[in-house]
Structure 1
Amino acid sequence: MDLINEILKLKQEKNAIILAHYYQRPEIQDIADAVGDSYNLSRVAQECKEKVVVFCGVKFMAESAKILSPEKIVLLPVMDAGCPMAEMAEAQEVLKMKQEHPNALVVTYINSTTEVKALTDVCVTSSSAMKIISNIPNDEIIFLPDKNLGEYIAEQFPNKKFYLWDGFCITHRKVKKENILYIKDIKRDVKVLVHPECEAEIRAMADFIGSTGDIIKYADECIKTEYIVVTEQGVIHQMKKRNPHKNFYVPGTSMTCFNMKKTTLQDVYECLVDMKNEIIIDEDIRIKAYTALMNMHKLAR
């Protein structure tokens, strides 16, 4: 069976759109109608005309699409594709933090559970965080769950007080300073592109810090031909497609998110055949989380 053609046929039959995050396997990205970071995919899911959204990513992404578009059927090809960072913030603990800092606005990275989003004033992505924080008048901000992204944002806003959750991305935590120095010793004219989920000492080595989408754009526009890409290595698939004459290096042996790589073509096919793994969210929680995501779109403009 030609899985790709079968998936494309099923997509038409089911009136479905396939969305893939930059960190997905190359073959998943290649069959997708849209490939992007969390922010852009959340917009596509909300604005698309199709009634079925097949979200090739991790669970919080599919949940975000369902929060924004409850009338659509949102399918996650692999239901246990989770995000360890998102699971580091629990709703009851967030409530406690809110009580400790009653004057603070709760700003939550989109990499979070629906239950935590429901306790949030506004969500952000790594690409929209700066714009959103600059549009917020509050001087006190609770930021969760990623401490590294929170630290990076706080550095840009010294007049605001940040209370940071102690969460992190297990993939971005893998990279070591010596991994980057090793490549720089061999490739002297290399640019270091770093995701803000990395720790401070890695961010300090960067020529550019930005979201996956921003990193791709930087490599598109920069005249240099050598880059160390310090984020999940799935992004390199799009970078090579757009810049075949440029070279991209991963620090260390790999930077792979196990959960992002769970989804296969077979999973996408079975998901569409059986219309299985539908995302279902309690309506009361969805409405509360919806406000946080809508505020993200409003404040990011």
Structure 2
Amino acid sequence: MTQEEIKQEIRRLARERNALLLAHNYQRDEIQELADITGDSLALSMEAARTDREVIVFCGVHFMAESAAILGPDKIVLLPRPDAGCPMADMVTPEGLREMKARYPGAPVVTYVNSTAAVKAESDICCTSSNAVNVVNSLEADEVLLVPDRNLGRYIADRTDKTCHLWEGYCPTHDRLSVEDVQRALEEHPDALFMAHPECPPPILELAHHICSTSGMYEFARQNPAAKFIVGTEMGILYRLRKESPDKEFILPTSKLICPNMKLTSLEDVLKSLQTMSPEITVPADVRERAKLTLDRMLAVPRD
């Protein structure tokens, strides 16, 4: 089958199975082009919970499909590549988190949504990269535990009066971006604005004109009059940036900004998943209920 024939068959099967195709912002271009909805992990999971479709095909990594299963327990959630994991999410375990909690008794655990359901279930509240500071400041405690991303944790710590204890996890893709990469890009494009994801190390964020989530980058690029942007996050975001702002130029400061896990999912994988209705991602009821509480608490925090 040609790529176009595969796409047509995926669309036909999706209609037949009453399936919604979701793709994360870092997925391959052809996957994003095919998807019904693209977005960040939490937004997609919320779409999965809202839809009246019976089947969710989640083109992303494992913890994202888990989040969709947590928020939409009545749906069949398929992850075309179950081996698509997240190294940062794997850097913290429930056992390790329980040990950290024992060292700081009474301090609430604020866990980034980029984490497993089991870790969410050991936490008090979740956060995203865009609402993290609001979530931390909404808590009455003077001390908080921030899990698992040390870079997001440092970003939060610089913007709150609370004492922050950080788990030493990180995103390998964002951590590969160097100061030299960014400085070279800024020198080559002095008229460009540098926007960076808070998963980047602090020295990178110090160089940024704007720090925001992936969704924030789309909005910033659309609304800012600048014609050129240097992009400090995974390369998959370029597809939608260029689609939504075709008159603007988007530059990656390095070719190292690629997540191999996010690039695993192919059109053939999506087709096979719909044909076989597998692999299905489920979360045990006790874990799901506790993990959902952390997401519900986050969603109840007022936005700016």
Residue 71 of structure 1 deviates from its aligned partner by: 1.1
| Secondary structure of 1:137 counterpart | coil
Q: Residue in 1 aligned with 2:176?
A: 174
Residue type of the partner of 1:204?
Answer: E
TM (norm. structure 2) is: 0.96
Indicate conservation of the 8 Å contact 1:38/1:125, yes or no.
no
Q: Residue in 2 aligned with 1:33?
A: 36
Tell me if 1:62 matches 2:71. no
Distance in 2 of aligned mates of 1:202 and 1:148? 10
Residue 126 of structure 1 deviates from its aligned partner by: 0.7
Moved over 6 A (4+): none
Match of 1:239 among 238, 241, 251: 241
Tell me if 1:267 matches 2:276. no
Query: Which structure 2 residues correspond to residues 123-138 of structure 1 after superposition, within 5 A?
Result: 123-138=126-141
Percent identity over paired residues: 43
Match of 1:114 among 117, 129, 138: 117
Residue type of the partner of 1:126?
Answer: S
Query: Which structure 2 residues correspond to residues 140-151 of structure 1 after superposition, within 5 A?
Result: 140-151=143-154
Query: Which structure 2 residues correspond to residues 282-301 of structure 1 after superposition, within 5 A?
Result: 282-299=284-301, 301=303
Tell me if 1:74 matches 2:86. no
**Count of residue pairs brought into register by the alignment:** 300
Match of 1:44 among 47, 54, 60: 47
| Secondary structure of 2:287 counterpart | helix
**Deviation string for 1:220-249 (max 9, x for gaps)?**
111111111000010011000011111111
Greater Cα offset, 30-39 or 129-138: 129-138
Indicate conservation of the 8 Å contact 1:128/1:300, yes or no.
no
| Secondary structure of 2:253 counterpart | coil
**Structure 1 gaps, min length 5:** none
Residue 139 of structure 1 deviates from its aligned partner by: 1.6
**CA RMSD for the aligned pairs?**
1.0
**Structure 2 gaps, min length 5:** none
Q: Residue in 2 aligned with 1:258?
A: 260
Indicate conservation of the 8 Å contact 1:189/1:226, yes or no.
yes
Q: Residue in 2 aligned with 1:11?
A: 14
| Secondary structure of 2:300 counterpart | helix
**Deviation string for 1:86-109 (max 9, x for gaps)?**
000011110011111112111000
Q: 1:78 to 1:300 in 2, by over 3 A?
A: farther
